[in-house]
Chains A and B, each alone.
Chain A
Amino acid sequence: MGVAKRGRIKRLLLGLAIFLMVVIWAGPILVVMISSFKPESIIRRESLVLIFRPSAEHYHFIFTKWPFWQFLVNSVVVSSLSTVISVTVGSLAAYSMARFNTGGPRYSFWVLSTRMAPPAVLVIPFFIMFSKLRLVNTWWVLIFVYLTFNLSFVIWTMRSFFEEIPEAIEEAAMIDGCTRLLAFRHVVLPLVSSGLAATMMFTLIFSWNEFIFALVLSAFRKTLPLALGDFVTGYAINWGPLFAAGTFVMIPAIIFTLIMQRRLIRGLTLGAVV
């Protein structure tokens, strides 16, 4: 067998593998997006229907007959406010930990360990505590509770970004008469701003996607992922509107992946750990 032929077979196999991977991993997402345009009459057909006349009826349904905008507002308010708080509070702590090694490894590990427990174990105490405080079904409860996973995430990611900034830059600014805080604000923060933006987008997405806390603590101030359950009715699963709303739930995640792909690892290694 010639080298050229072997190379060709190798390329063919590689091409096949790549094709299969794309079909398996991007396929289901595509199926959801395409199915959201399928007319109701063919969506629960038993046989495979690939060619059909696209219809916007499901989108029309979720916009006019379903309080989509209300859920969207809930989702946006909760995830953005939780992001703002966690990024502000977290950056301060991260800066202190990166620059002064505050608390040492024990403190930083403790911060990390707060993310280790499955959220399900916190559901019962949160439910009882917040119902005694009469905070159930408010934005505030979700904003606050989402800090459990957002804050430690921000601290760990931002710490690594701050550690990359040489201290000499700040010291130069301080010699010029800046205080530490002014140097932080005007010298360090602009330098880490792209990292900060990436971190913010991560926390936005994490809060955007959250389900179990919203399920227990905010059943009447539903966020979008929770509201998807509306289409699983007692009588049928309405796949059409579910996919239409699901597409909107996916859009931020997809845009985010497109923009952030190079930074995905860094966020996820510190984010998903624990």
Chain B
Amino acid sequence: MALYTILLVIAGALLLYCLFLTRVSEHALPVYLVVPATVILVSLTIFPIIYLVNLSIRDVGIYNFHSSWPFVGLGNYATIIRDPEVIASFFRTLQFLVASIGLELVLGMCMALILYQEFKGRGAVTTLLMLPIMVSPILVGMMWRYMFSFNDGFINQIFSALGAKKLPWLTNEPLPLISTILGLGDPKWAANTLNLNYGLASIVITDVWQWTPFVALLVLAGLNALPVEPYEAAVVDGASGWAIFRHLTLPLLRPVIMVALLIRLMDAMKVFDTIWALFEGAPFTRVLNISLYNVGITRKIYGQGAALSILIIILVTIMAQLVIGFVERLEKA
């Protein structure tokens, strides 16, 4: 009956709050208005994080869930950072971030520049391109699992209809050419250790598919807001199209690109659904969030999962700091 008690308490608090809403003095009103939001946010974020810290220094798992949880200090952290799977998933996450965000920024810019041209039906095309953004990520994952499927997948169907070879999407097979181009030697080794395999490529493609339109949307808005005067001056000076883009458009767009980078970085760190739908947690595709799910939910060692959660939170904070510092240095220069 905990549910009804909680609901009753919440309803009571709400009633009291509304009762006093009209009676609070003008002076206290601003604080009074942010109280409910603050209470909810504290109970939903600060409290769980404190709880998480507590879990992370204890030995908790399914084996002692209903009894006492012995204190183990930093033992869970030590186990986690020595776990080769977690270390591998950390580097995989970095690779995923760099590859997908890099591609999204470049492709998004191209898309925006094309959409910036005048052509018939531009509105309709823009709308069509924006469709993927809001589609549920789990469905996007399932959709691409079908597209990538080896025998009956849509992409391989097209390939074989065109007479080309089917590609082993969603597998650990090495990507062709890449290791030769980079001079890495054995492609098998590159596929395993450096994740230069179709599996990671499939994840990146899925993410790029969903989020490139979003970057394009941001850049397009930036393009629309560009001042006209410098362009007139440049045209008078006889600058070429590429020079204008390189020396005028790109610097003017920089703040917008930085915002896109920041948003995508924070968002890509959350990735879970699509990879889960594509691989159901296969070891060679685990990023940090999947590893966390594997430790905490699949293997049910809650203490170690909590330690990994804390490490991820610290990582996200550091990344935010770095990006913001970078943005600031650019602004100053």
Give chain A's interface residues, CB within 8 Å of chain B. 14-15, 17-18, 21-22, 24-26, 28-29, 31-32, 35, 43-48, 89-90, 92-93, 95-97, 99-100, 102-103, 107, 111, 114-129, 133-135, 138, 140, 144-145, 147-148, 151-152, 155, 179-181, 205, 208-209, 211-212, 216, 225-226, 228, 232, 237, 239, 242-243, 246, 249-250, 253-254, 256-258, 261, 264-265, 268-269, 272-274
Contacts and interface: CB of A to CB of B under 8 A. Distances in A.
Contacts of A120: 270, 272, 289, 292-293, 309, 312
A115 to B, nearest CB: 8
Contacts of B276: 211-212
> Could you say which of A43, A44, A258, A272 has the most chain B C-beta atoms within 10 Å of its C-beta?
A272
B131 interface: yes
Interface stretch (B98-106, B137-145, B169-177, B228-236): B137-145
A248 B8 CA distance: 35
Interface of B: 2-3, 6-7, 21-22, 26, 29-31, 33-34, 36-38, 40-41, 44-45, 48-49, 51-52, 55, 111, 114, 117, 119, 125-139, 142-147, 151-152, 154, 157-158, 160-161, 209, 212-214, 217-218, 221, 259, 262-264, 266-267, 269-273, 276, 288-289, 292-293, 296-297, 302, 305-306, 309-310, 312-313, 316-317, 320
In the A-B complex, the 9 residue pairs with the closest CB atoms: A93-B37, A96-B33, A209-B136, A100-B30, A121-B309, A253-B134, A125-B48, A120-B289, A48-B157
Given A93-B37, A264-B217, 18 more contacts: A93-B34, A93-B38, A117-B312, A117-B316, A121-B52, A124-B297, A134-B2, A151-B44, A179-B26, A209-B135, A225-B138, A226-B138, A228-B138, A239-B146, A253-B135, A254-B131, A254-B134, A258-B127
B139 to A, nearest CB: 5
A122 B316 contact: no
B263 A123 contact: no
19 contacts: A21-B114, A26-B131, A29-B143, A35-B146, A48-B161, A100-B29, A117-B49, A118-B272, A120-B272, A120-B293, A121-B52, A125-B55, A144-B44, A212-B272, A246-B139, A253-B136, A264-B133, A265-B221, A273-B266
Looking at chain B's contact residues, the main secondary structure is helix
Given A25-B213, A28-B209, A124-B309, A140 B134 contact: no
A25 to B, nearest CB: 5
A109 to B, nearest CB: 10
Contacts, number: 269
Contacts of B45: 114, 117, 122, 148
> Could you say which of B134, B276, B289 has the most chain A C-beta atoms within 10 Å of its C-beta?
B134
A89 B317 CA distance: 27
B139 A47 contact: no
> Could you say which of A118, A151, A179, A208 has the most chain B C-beta atoms within 10 Å of its C-beta?
A118
B189 to A, nearest CB: 30
B143 A32 contact: yes
B320 A116 contact: yes
Contact of A95 (B33, B133, B147): B33
A156 B266 CA distance: 16
A211 B312 CA distance: 20
A269 B276 CA distance: 25
B174 to A, nearest CB: 24
Contacts of A133: 2-3, 6
A246 B288 CA distance: 27
Nearest to A154: B37
A14 B113 CA distance: 11
B270 A29 contact: no
A124 B2 contact: no
Contacts of A22: 125, 128-129
